[in-house]
């Protein structure tokens, strides 16, 4: 519970040490630092940051004692003339509903429940820009990498929709609960009652010329 967060000790010559506060849990070693350097890495010779373009292929990691990893020989090039801007915008509505399906043939029943709900919505004249059917506990994270176990006692069915029409998304939320009493046996509700339509705030990255941005630093004593 008391895991430490990495701390960087930077020296005047540019070398630095990655460590953590004394008395905290966790570990800082070369393997962990190596993994974090590669995290979300595109081109390791051309990693763009606001101040410099970094070349990670030349760096050296060295052990400097318990929970201390030194880093040096990192090369840098001139920064790009742009800043990255992270913008948010309204992108419609979404809703997700979950049902717990238990008992013999739980997976098969969950598949049938999903089929029933989507068919009822279709017959009522509703279609959506995007839909998703997930079976939590079976294949929701890794897809078809592993085979489905022969004996499954329970599975959580999660259905989701996305659309620009609030009324359609809200209507989807009203179709989940009725299956508890009008669907296969062994079904119960899960996670907060009837799904409610929520606004989607989407993300859009863009570039802006640095000349358009004025920076300043204010020191408060």
Closest CA to 1 of 21, 18, 26: 26
Global pTM reads 0.76
Asked if residues 90 and 200 have their Cβ atoms less than 8 Å apart, the reply is yes
In angstroms, how far is CA 148 from the centroid of its own chain? 24
Q: Domains of the chain, with CATH numbers?
A: 6-80 (no CATH), 89-203 (3.30.70)
112, 113, 117, 120: CA torsion to nearest 10? 60
* pLDDT lower than 50: segments of the chain: none
Instruction: Give the per-residue pLDDT at 108.
Output: 92
pLDDT, tens digit, 9 for 90 and up, residues 83-125: 999 999 999 999 999 999 999 999 999 999 999 999 999 999 9
**DSSP secondary structure code for residue 210 in this structure:** G
SS3 state at 104: coil
Instruction: Give the per-residue pLDDT at 27.
Output: 94
């Amino acid at each position: 519970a008391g895991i430490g967060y990495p701390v960087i000790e930077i020296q005047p010559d540019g070398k630095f040490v990655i460590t953590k506060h004394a008395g905290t849990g966790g570990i800082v070693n070369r393997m962990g630092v190596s993994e974090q350097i590669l995290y979300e890495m595109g081109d390791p010779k051309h990693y763009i940051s606001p101040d410099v373009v970094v070349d990670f292929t030349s760096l050296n990691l060295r052990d400097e004692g318990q929970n201390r990893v030194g880093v040096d020989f990192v090369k840098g090039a001139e920064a790009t003339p742009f800043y990255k801007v992270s913008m948010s915008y309204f992108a419609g509505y979404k809703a997700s509903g979950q049902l717990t399906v238990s008992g013999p043939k739980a997976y098969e029943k969950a598949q049938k429940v999903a089929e029933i709900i989507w068919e009822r919505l279709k017959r009522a004249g509703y279609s959506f820009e995007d839909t998703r059917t997930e079976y939590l506990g079976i294949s929701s994270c890794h897809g078809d990498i592993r085979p489905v176990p022969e004996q499954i006692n329970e599975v959580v069915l999660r259905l989701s929709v996305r659309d620009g029409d609030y009324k359609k998304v809200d209507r989807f939320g009203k179709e989940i609960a009725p299956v508890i009493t009008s669907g296969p046996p062994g079904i119960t509700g899960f996670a907060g009652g009837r799904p409610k339509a929520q606004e989607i705030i989407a993300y859009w990255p863009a570039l802006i010329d640095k000349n358009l941005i004025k920076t300043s630093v204010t020191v408060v004593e």
